[in-house]
Each structure stands twice: as structure tokens, then as C-alpha cells.
A and B are shown apart, each in its own frame.
Chain A
């Protein structure tokens, strides 16, 4: 099982967090933790998602990137993987 932290920037739109969580679960990733906040000035949200799976992370990144309200997705290589 590989552990990752994704950093996702989103437009502050309806149910964008639900969409990300649905895609993450459906594509075979376990959600271990989440932080989400919105910059009320820019209306851009930042979501940090701690996830784990045996599947390649690139497959999930591609699927999240397809969601309409996503600005960008990246893997936080500095995040400490759970032991």
C-alpha cells in the first residue's frame, strides 16, 4: 500500500469537494485524512488529501484533473507517509 498527499487547488464551486471524494473512492484510493479551506478573496480552495492505494497515483491525478472545477493537482513529495 502506497501513501500519498495530494494538493488540489479548486474553484470554490458547488460540491467540488464531494466530487473529489467520490472520484477518489471510486478509483480505488482510501482516504486517510483531509484538510480543506477556501481563500474568500480569490475564491480558490486548497484541499490536502492524504490517501493510500496499491494503484498508481497518476491514474487518480488524471481523473481528478478531468473534473470541471479543478485548477491543478500535485503530489506533495514532502508529506510524511504514515507508518
Chain B
């Protein structure tokens, strides 16, 4: 497709996509987006038909997170557009670059309560970084370029472009517009490097707290060099997992509500906390007023609005981590503190000596982690299996662990794995899910079948909404309200219905062979792991509690 030909709005969309390097998109057609799907018919862009628009949105998110490229999803007006919303909210919460294209009823019908009309432009305000509605064909090309630019620049995020049907059909010639960056006018204050270095030099007990911003800034190498130079103990958020070398001797694991005891205690005891691309989320801090109570804070971020939002920073360093992190990389004399943290790491190491024949999910996930091929990408859904995956699996890059962090969206894992597999066809992709979560976007098994995607699904099945059940037991007097899922479908038959090989294991001695079989199978595979419904995720910091007051398995 050439740039100077006469276009329809629909064909122009694919022309612009190709200029931005888009090769794969996820979507679902319908009435008000038919001209775009008609143009797709002649396009070189690969379209992956999902079976629900929410699946398309999550696949676009998974694609973006696994590849570092913009994810693209399409939906029609009305219910198609509203079905994208949860995926866009997820992308906003986790700062994922996604461009969503929605069809809209023709401009003459807009505002008349037309069939399948919804004000998706209005709905988008709370769940996108920015959004557009294009009512003039002459604006379309410029807007589409801006959408891709905004999704990627600064703190990344989702952008929605709503295009009425008549604009999709209208004819226009490409004008190759000079794209004006619609960047907001935030002027980053000068980095407070001198003050930060002074604090770092004086610190006796520093900890670096790493968030998802490191991966998004493509600053994993700079972070690891910083850690090598300073040799300070390090902890990670859920979204930061993979940024720190999991084998580094002073890495203490994930912090927060289900963090390791060593990570949480180190943060509570430290005298300097260096937050890097992290936002002091409530799942990280526990009771905010008691979080890291003795620490001064140095906060690195790209987003001015994150500074002082939840925790006052003693020094703020705004801007590109790739540039700013090396400026603070100085050797430190903190041997006593290192040894103390090392001792806690050893004293509170995970134990896998679980009694009885029943399968212990943490041990299964640890074995999968040890056996999975290099550069495997793991997605999760949300719940107990998610926290066990974060605790017991090891990742060597943030793009190899995709989990819904900010929004905590059940139904994320399977479609995100589809997107990841499309973006990285030669890598092993594993979706770790729970029986509650899997059923939330189970229709996407059909997408796996249609495109013969070799996604491995590890289903941790306790026939419960396990995390909610755990909280009901611990904090609601064991009143198990609506968390029983004992009427789940037969998951083996379900997998077979989509031509997916499957195996169920319910005893410890079956696990290793089944994991080997899963990895040796060329195509998609569902490993159905039955576990005891009473298993809990430990440790647990109860709500509104300081992170050193964690509950542990007794």
C-alpha cells in the first residue's frame, strides 16, 4: 500500500499502522466497523480474530508487554467498544502502550440513541491516557499518528480512536502530515542528583525498590549495573519482577502484601529507600504511615505526578532512567547491612517440604520455573496462583512475566498469553491460571485453536475463588460467601473440545512427568493441577497493617 494513493478512512488506518511498524492486531468485527474490516481484507496486517472484545484488548496488552511494541485492538461500536473498556483500564493502570480503534455509528446518527451507539469517547476519559473521536476525514491521518506517538511517549498508556462509519468510508488522499507531538507541557524539574548522592553516601542501610517502570524504560541493563556497583539489597514489585537478576546474592524478592519476609523486613528497617519506576502502591506499602518508617526516599520516575503522591520524596529524580540511574551508581561500604539482609534471606527462605500426597502449588510452579526453556514468558491471571507464581518462579526480564498489577483483572492471563505468543512465536509462553480466572475469558481457547498457538496453560484448580475464600476464612469468620466453584466444567473435556492436549494431576508423584510432557508437546497443552482448597498464600500482610506484621503459616 503506498502513501500517496487515494484512501478510504479504513485503508488509511492500515497504511498508518504499517508506517508505525504494526504487523499484528486483535479484534472482532461488527456493523459500525465494517468499512475498516473491508479495508483489512486488502491489508498486509495480520488480524487475530478473538472471541470477545475483552480478549482482543488483553491480547493487545500481552502483545505490547511481551514485545515492547504498541498493541492494537479493534472493536465495533456499542457493546464491542464497551467490551474493550476493562482491557483499556488494565493498560492504563499498568502503563501499557495500546491503540484501540472503535467503529462508531455514522456522524448523522450520533447522539440519536442509534442502534449499537454508545458514547465510547466519553467512557474513555477515565480509562485511557488520551482519546480521539474523528468526525472529519481530513483529520484522521494526523490523529492516528498522534495516537501511536502518545501511547509510547513519556509514561506509556492506552489511546482510543473512535471513528464513525461514514468517516471510515470517506475518501481522502494521504497528506503525510507533519505530526505535532501532543505532549503535555510538564517541565521536568532538574534532577536532584547532588542531594541524592549525599544521602546515598551517608546511608548505612539502603534498599532499592524496583517497579515496572524499569522494564518500560528499557533500563534493565542500567539497573543491574547500578546494583552491581552499589551492591545494595534489592526488592521488587509484582510488575518489576525480572528487572533484577533473580540470582543476585542481595536480591530479596518481592515486597508487599504477599512479599517475602526478608524483603519486607529489610524495607521496614532500611534508612534509605531508592524507589525506581515504582509508585508506592497500597499492595506494596501496607499501612502507608508505617511503611519504611526510618527511611529517607529517593524517587526515580518519568511521571511528575507520582512524586509525593503517596510518599514524600527527599530527592526526586525525574526523567529517563537510562540516563539518571548511572548518575547515582557509586560503591557503598555497607557490608554489615548486606550480611544482615543475607541472613534474613537465608533464615526466611521458602520451604517446599510440604506434608502429604496433595499437590503443593508453590512446588509445582518452582519446578516449572526450573524446567522452562530460556526466555519463556509467563502470564498469570489474578488470585492465589498469581501470587504463588510471583513468589516461586524466577524471571530474567520484565517482559517475561506479564501479570495484571494495578487493575488486578481476572481473565487477563489467557488472552495476554495469546498476544505474547503472537509477538514471540519462537518463545515458550505459559499462562498460569486459576479455575475462577480461566473461566472469565475461556472463549479464547478458540483463538488458540484457530491460530494453532502452542500456549501452555497451567491451571491451578482448587474449585474455589481461592484468594477471596482465603480472606473469608481469615477476615470474615469463615463465612464462605459465593466462592465455591465445585461445579466447574470438566477441564480435560473442555480442552479436548478445542483440540488442546490436556492432563490432570492430583498427586505429588504425578507432577514431574506431567510437566515434562507439557514441555515436550509441540502444540497447546493444558496441565490441570488439582490442589487442596484450603491452601493459603503466605505470608500475608493484613489490610491497613505495617509490612513487618505479616501473618505466616503456622
Chain A residues within 8 Å of B, Cβ to Cβ = 14-15, 18-19, 22, 26, 56, 58-59, 62-63, 65-72
CB distance from A20 to the nearest CB of B (A): 10
Say yes or no: A14 contacts B132, CB within 8 Å. Answer: yes
Check B185 against A14 for contact (C-beta < 8 Å): no
A62–B305 CB distance below 8 A: yes
Asked if residues A72 and B185 are in contact (CB atoms below 8 Å), the reply is yes
Contact status of A66 and B125, CB under 8 A, knowing A59-B309, A71-B185:
no
Q: Which residue of A lies closest to B146 (CB)?
A: A68
User: With A68-B130, A68-B150 as given contacts, are A22 and B185 in contact (CB-CB < 8 Å)?
Assistant: no
Residue of chain B at shortest CB distance from A63? B305
Chain B residues in 8 Å Cβ range of A69: 182
For the complex, is B111 an interface residue (Cβ under 8 Å from A)? no
- The chain A residue sitting closest to B154, CB to CB, is A66
Chain A residues within 8 Å of B122, by CB: 15, 18
Q: Which of A14, A22, A62 contacts B126 (CB 8 A)?
A: A22
Residues of A close to B198: CB separation below 8 A? none
Pair B308/A58 contact, Cβ less than 8 Å: yes
A28 vs chain B, min Cβ distance (A): 12
0/1 string, B383-416, CB within 8 A of A gives 1: 0000000000000000000000000000000000
Q: Does B499 lie at the interface of the complex (its beta carbon under 8 Å from any beta carbon of A)?
A: no
**5 CB-based A-B contacts, threshold 8 Å:** A14-B121, A63-B305, A65-B305, A68-B129, A68-B150
Residue of B nearest to A13 (CB): B182
B:486-532 near A, CB below 8 Å = none
Cβ of B133 < 8 Å from any Cβ of A?
A: yes
- Asked whether any CB of chain A lies closer than 8 Å to the CB of B304, the reply is yes
Given known contacts A14-B132, A18-B122, A18-B125, is B308 in contact with A70 (CB within 8 Å)?
no
B303 in the interface, Cβ–Cβ < 8 Å? yes
Known: A19-B125, A71-B185. 13 other contacts (CB 8 A): A14-B133, A18-B122, A18-B125, A59-B305, A59-B309, A62-B186, A62-B305, A65-B185, A66-B155, A66-B184, A66-B305, A67-B130, A68-B130
When chains A and B are docked, how far (Å) is the Cα of A18 from the Cα of B269?
Answer: 45
Determine whether the beta carbon of B184 is less than 8 Å from that of A68.
yes
Kindly provide the distance from the CB of B117 to the nearest chain A CB, expressed in whole angstroms. Answer: 17
Among residues 159 to 182 in chain B, which have CB atoms less than 8 Å away from a CB atom of chain A?
Answer: 182
Taking the closest CB of chain B, its distance from the CB of A60, in whole angstroms, is: 9
| Complex interface: chain A residues within 8 A of B133 (CB) | 14
Tell which of A58, A65, A66 has the most Cβ of chain B within 10 Å. A66
Neighbour of A15 across the interface among B125, B186, B305, B307, CB < 8 A: B125
Closest to B307 in A: A62
On chain A, the residues within 8 Å of B309 by CB distance are 59, 62
Q: Which residues of B contact A (CB under 8 A)?
A: 121-122, 125-126, 129-130, 132-133, 150, 155, 182-186, 303-305, 307-309
How many angstroms from the CA of A15 to the CA of B130 in the assembled complex?
A: 11
Q: A residues within 8 A CB of B155? A: 66
How far, in angstroms, from A22 to B125 measured CA to CA in the complex? 7
Instruction: Return chain A residues, CB-CB under 8 Å to B126.
Output: 22, 26
Closest-CB distance, B111 to chain A (whole angstroms): 14
**CB nearest to B182 among chain A residues:** A68
Q: In the docked arrangement, what's the CA distance between A18 and B123, Å?
A: 11
User: Which residues on A sit within 8 Å (CB–CB) of B150?
Assistant: 68
Which 8 A-B pairs rank lowest in CB-CB distance, beginning with the nearest?
Answer: A62-B305, A68-B130, A68-B182, A22-B125, A65-B186, A63-B305, A62-B304, A66-B184
How far apart are A66's CB and chain B's nearest CB, in angstroms? Answer: 5
Docked complex Cα distance between A22 and B122 (Å): 10
Q: How far is the CA of A60 from the CA of B183 in the complex (A)?
A: 18
Residues of B within 8 A of A18 (CB): 122, 125
Residue of B whose beta carbon sits closest to that of A11: B182
Write the chain B residue with the least CB distance to A59: B309
CB distance from A33 to the nearest CB of B (A): 21
With the chains together, A71 CA to B185 CA distance in Å? Answer: 6
* Docked pose: A71 CA to B305 CA in angstroms: 16
Residues of B within 8 A of A22 (CB): 125-126
Nearest CB of chain B from residue A17's CB, rounded to whole Å? 11
Task: Give complex CA distance A26, B183 in Å.
Answer: 22
Q: Please, how many angstroms separate the alpha-carbon atoms of A15 and B119 in the complex?
A: 12
Tell me the bound Cα distance from A57 to B93 in angstroms.
Answer: 22
Q: Which residue of A lies closest to B187 (CB)?
A: A65
A57 CB, min distance to chain B CBs, angstroms: 12
Whether B304 pairs with A65 at a CB distance below 8 angstroms is: yes
CA distance A67 to B304 in the complex (A): 12
CA–CA, A70 and B305, complex, Å: 15
Chain B residue numbers with a CB within 8 Å of A56 are 308
Shortest CB-to-CB span from A6 to chain B, Å, is 15
How far, in whole Å, are A59 and B133 apart by their CA atoms in the complex?
Answer: 29
Task: Give the docked Cα–Cα distance between A13 and B328 (Å).
Answer: 41
Q: List, in ascending order, chain B residues with CB within 8 A of A71's CB.
A: 185
CA of A58 to CA of B130 in the docked complex: distance in angstroms?
A: 22
Q: Which of B125, B303, B308 has the most CB of A within 10 A?
A: B125
Specify the chain A residue showing the minimal Cβ separation from B130.
Answer: A68
**Smallest distance from the beta carbon of A34 to chain B beta carbons, Å?**
17
Smallest CB separation, B146 vs chain A (Å): 9
A32 to chain B, nearest CB (A): 21
Beta-carbon contact of B184 and A65 below 8 Å: yes
